[in-house]
Amino acid sequence: MTSLADILRGIERGVFPTPDLGITVVPAPSPREAAVVAFTGHIVIAADVDPAWVADRIPPGDLAAPTNPPFLSALEEATGRRVNAIDGMLLAPALTDPTDRSVAVEGLTELTDHAHPRVERAWRYRDDVRVYGDAYGGLVLTGRGLAGRIECAIEVPEGDRGKGHGRRLARAARALIPVDAHIWAQVTPGNAASLRTFLAAGYKPVGSEALLVR
């Protein structure tokens, strides 16, 4: 059976679900989360629900319904979870050139103090979290999140925003993963500044997701 992990690994290779206006239902990727993941012309519902239950609630060809409140509320009730966020998904390959990787992480130090609120939040939704800081108080975090994919998050102190630090940290994340890997970022669509930051760091939008957590 196809899993969400299979689908996401395919996207990392440039293989997307067929844009057939269809819906694919797959099991929840872990006890921690379920998700509704939207791509161009196709929706993937990764939750422990019957495909017939989904079909009863979504008109054929309606790809807006799965990410709208009525369906998401029903999915919350059926799975005993809540929608944490609806984010845009962005994806970038690892930096592969040794010089580029070295320059990208220059000035970063791995941190062992995980008391920062952003770090605590990362551990709630990811495994194998690693945290790096810079001289400006900025943070870049990596870890394994939805369906085991490698994800990143960045934090720039308010007084240092708008100076390119976020773009530098987002690019650094691409050098903190194996050279044959890809890294994902989730950005709330309304956060235009963050969206511009990741786009400038070489990430490309590939879809959106509604993450359901306990």
One domain, residues 63 and 119: no
- 88-143 pLDDT, tens per residue? 999 999 999 999 999 999 999 998 877 777 777 778 888 999 999 998 889 999 99
SS (H, E, C) 86-124: EEEEEEEECCCCHHHHHHHCCCCEECCCCCCHHHHHHHH
Q: Is the pLDDT of residue 9 over 90?
A: yes
pLDDT at 172: 97
Q: What is the pTM of this model?
A: 0.92
Q: Is the pLDDT of residue 17 over 70?
A: yes
Q: Which helix (DSSP H) or strand (DSSP E) does residue 41 occupy? A: none
Sign of CA dihedral 84, 212, 143, 99: negative
State the average pLDDT over residues 135-157. 92
pLDDT at 105: 95
- 29-80 pLDDT, tens per residue? 999 999 999 999 999 999 999 999 999 999 988 999 999 999 999 999 999 9
* Domain that residue 10 falls in: 4-88
Residue 15 — very low, low, confident or very high, per pLDDT cuts 50/70/90? very high
One domain, residues 112 and 179: yes
Domain membership of residue 71 (yes or no) is: yes
One domain, residues 121 and 191: yes
Query: Could you tell me which of 11, 29, 10 has the C-alpha nearest to residue 148?
Result: 29
pLDDT at 54: 97
- 166-196 pLDDT, tens per residue? 899 999 999 999 999 999 999 998 999 999 9
Q: How many domains does the chain have?
A: 2
Q: Which two tokens stand for residue 77?
A: 């009730």
Helix (H/G/I), strand (E/B), else coil: 21: coil
pLDDT at 163: 64
| Measured distance CA(62)–CA(139) in Å, rounded | 40
One domain, residues 84 and 102: no
Domain boundary among 88, 108, 124: 88
| Measured distance CA(145)–CA(168) in Å, rounded | 22
Helix (H/G/I), strand (E/B), else coil: 57: helix
Domain membership of residue 211 (yes or no) is: no
Q: Is the pLDDT of residue 24 over 70?
A: yes
State the average pLDDT over residues 155-175. 84
pLDDT at 115: 75
One domain, residues 112 and 135: yes
Residue 160 — very low, low, confident or very high, per pLDDT cuts 50/70/90? low
| Measured distance CA(88)–CA(34) in Å, rounded | 16
Domain boundary among 72, 88, 104: 88
Domain membership of residue 19 (yes or no) is: yes
Domain boundary among 40, 65, 88: 88
